[in-house]
């Protein structure tokens, strides 16, 4: 059964994607250079099937996840399930090369070719530049993206973990819009909203990100995707300061705790897409139920203040 998950536009672009993204970083086994075994394949297939059943139509990859095995096992799944590729949006990332970052045109081209080959698909629906490269030459990025789009190998371009000036620099030469920025954001890491809430407080120190990134993305039609929406699992562990509040809200409404966690991200008017990374089918379904909850302003702030452990100014 397909959950009626909300579909959203990639901002002003006609492309529709599910409000929640399924993140494929943890499928495909270990990071060791060993083949995918049967048990690892079962876990991966179970997670992809659960995501499809729950209504996720947007799948997030990176060229190097699990030493390419995430894309490989996903490609195997697509080959064994004809018809799936046509109804989903597949994004991947490039630019992280072990000990260094690489936004060169050559790497962009090679990375996309590799992702297409491993997944057995003809086009990536979106390529994200995984992390800022200090040696970036924006003209090279622009040229490579344009070539890939013209060749029909790429539909959209975006970035991940990029600051406002880094996006500005790219936008100056790109012929194609930046349609997404994937950033860490959750009740376990709420810096994206905290930097604005506490901007002029004496005690607020500089955050890792340049200020205004979330508003900048809203202003420029750049969809924010939230990686690690469960803080990599930490958020629902005993002892996390927001855990009790999440638990009591979930109990009151009769929903799983995971739904409260994603509902908090989904409530933000920027239309942020949580990128859910669990490989457990029940959790993948539970996270999707966040679409059914509309938190009030008061509830949203209540969760935030519980998570940061202090009152707002």
Ligand X SMILES: NC(=O)c1ccc[n+]([C@@H]2O[C@H](COP(=O)([O-])OP(=O)(O)OC[C@H]3O[C@@H](n4cnc5c(N)ncnc54)[C@H](OP(=O)(O)O)[C@@H]3O)[C@@H](O)[C@H]2O)c1
Nearer to ligand X, 3 or 198 (CB): 3
- Would you give the binding string for ligand X spanning residues 89-128, x where CB under 6 A is met? ----------------------------------------
Nearer to ligand X, 147 or 232 (CB): 232
* 258 is a contact residue toward ligand X (CB under 6 A): yes
Which member of 4, 35, 165, 233 binds ligand X (CB under 6 A)?
A: 233
Nearer to ligand X, 203 or 234 (CB): 234
Nearer to ligand X, 60 or 195 (CB): 60
* 224 is a contact residue toward ligand X (CB under 6 A): no
Strand partners, 97: 100
Which member of 11, 104, 173, 280 binds ligand X (CB under 6 A)?
A: 280
Per annotation, catalytic residue among 22, 65, 216, 301: 65
Instruction: Classify the phi-psi angles of 204: left when phi > 0, otherwise alpha if psi is within -120 to 50, otherwise beta.
Output: beta
Name the one residue in this structure whose structure tokens are 């075994």.
37
* 242 is a contact residue toward ligand X (CB under 6 A): no
Is 56 catalytic? The answer is no
Which member of 120, 138, 232, 241 binds ligand X (CB under 6 A)?
A: 232
Choose the stretch contacting ligand X; rule: CB under 6 A; options: 72-80, 116-124, 168-176, 228-236.
228-236
Which member of 51, 127, 236, 246 binds ligand X (CB under 6 A)?
A: 236
Nearer to ligand X, 46 or 146 (CB): 46
Which member of 10, 23, 76, 94 binds ligand X (CB under 6 A)?
A: 23
- Would you give the binding string for ligand X spanning residues 39-78, x where CB under 6 A is met? ---------------------x------------------
Q: Which residue number has the CB closest to ligand X?
A: 277
**Nearest-CA neighbor of 186 among 46, 61, 17, 23?**
23
* 290 is a contact residue toward ligand X (CB under 6 A): no
Q: According to the 3-state scheme, what is the secondary structure of the chain?
A: CCCCCCEEECCCCCCEEECCEEECCCCCCCCCCCCCCHHHHHHHHHHHHHHHHHCCCEEECCCCHHHHHHHHHHHHHHHHCCCCHHHCEEEEEECEECCEECCCHHHHHHHHHHHHHHHCCCCEEEEEECCCCCCCCHHHHHHHHHHHHHCCCEEEEEEECCCHHHHHHHHHHCCCCEEEEEEECECCECHHHHHHHCCCCCCCCCCCCCCCHHHHHHHCCCEEEEECCCHHHHHHCCCCCCHHHHHHHHHHHCCCHHHHHHHHHHCCCCCCEEEECCCCHHHHHHHHHHHHCCCCHHHHHHHHHHHHCCCCC
Task: Calculate the CA 12 to chain-centre distance.
Answer: 19
Nearer to ligand X, 91 or 195 (CB): 91
Report the alpha-carbon angle 109-113-119, nearest 5: 145
Distance in Å, CB of 202 to ligand X, minimum = 31
Contact 7, 16 (CB under 8 A): yes
Which member of 40, 182, 262, 273 binds ligand X (CB under 6 A)?
A: 182
Distance in Å, CB of 184 to ligand X, minimum = 7
Residues carrying an active site annotation: 65
Q: Applying CB under 6 A, which residues contact ligand X? A: 23-26, 60, 130, 160-161, 182, 227-233, 236, 258, 275-280, 283
């Amino acid at each position: 059964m397909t959950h009626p998950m909300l579909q959203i536009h990639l901002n002003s672009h006609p492309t529709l994607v599910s409000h929640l993204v399924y993140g494929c970083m943890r499928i495909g086994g270990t990071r060791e250079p060993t083949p995918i075994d049967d048990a690892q394949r079962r876990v991966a297939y179970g997670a992809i099937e659960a995501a499809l059943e729950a209504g996720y139509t947007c799948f997030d990859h990176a060229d190097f996840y699990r030493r390419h095995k995430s894309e490989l096992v996903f490609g195997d799944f697509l080959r064994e399930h004809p018809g799936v590729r046509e109804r989903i949006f597949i994004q991947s990332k490039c630019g992280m090369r072990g000990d260094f970052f690489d936004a060169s045109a050559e790497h962009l081209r090679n990375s996309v070719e590799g992702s297409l080959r491993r997944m057995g698909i003809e086009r990536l629906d979106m390529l994200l530049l995984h992390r800022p490269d200090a040696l970036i030459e924006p003209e090279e990025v622009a040229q490579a993206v344009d070539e890939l789009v013209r060749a029909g190998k790429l539909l959209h371009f975006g970035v991940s973990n990029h600051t406002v000036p880094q996006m500005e620099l790219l936008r100056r030469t790109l012929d194609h819009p930046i349609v997404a920025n994937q950033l860490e954001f959750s009740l376990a890491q709420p810096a994206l909203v905290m930097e604005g809430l506490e901007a002029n407080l004496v005690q607020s120190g500089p955050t890792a990100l340049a200020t205004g990134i979330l508003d900048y993305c809203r202003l420029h039609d750049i969809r924010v995707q939230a990686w690690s929406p469960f803080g990599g699992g930490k958020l629902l562990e005993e002892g996390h300061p927001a855990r009790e509040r999440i638990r009591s809200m979930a109990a009151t409404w009769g929903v799983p705790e995971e739904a409260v966690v994603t509902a908090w991200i989904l409530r933000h008017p920027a239309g942020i897409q949580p990128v859910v990374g669990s490989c457990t089918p029940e959790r993948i379904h539970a996270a999707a139920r966040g679409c059914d909850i509309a938190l009030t302003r008061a509830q949203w702030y209540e969760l935030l203040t519980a998570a940061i452990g202090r009152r707002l100014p």
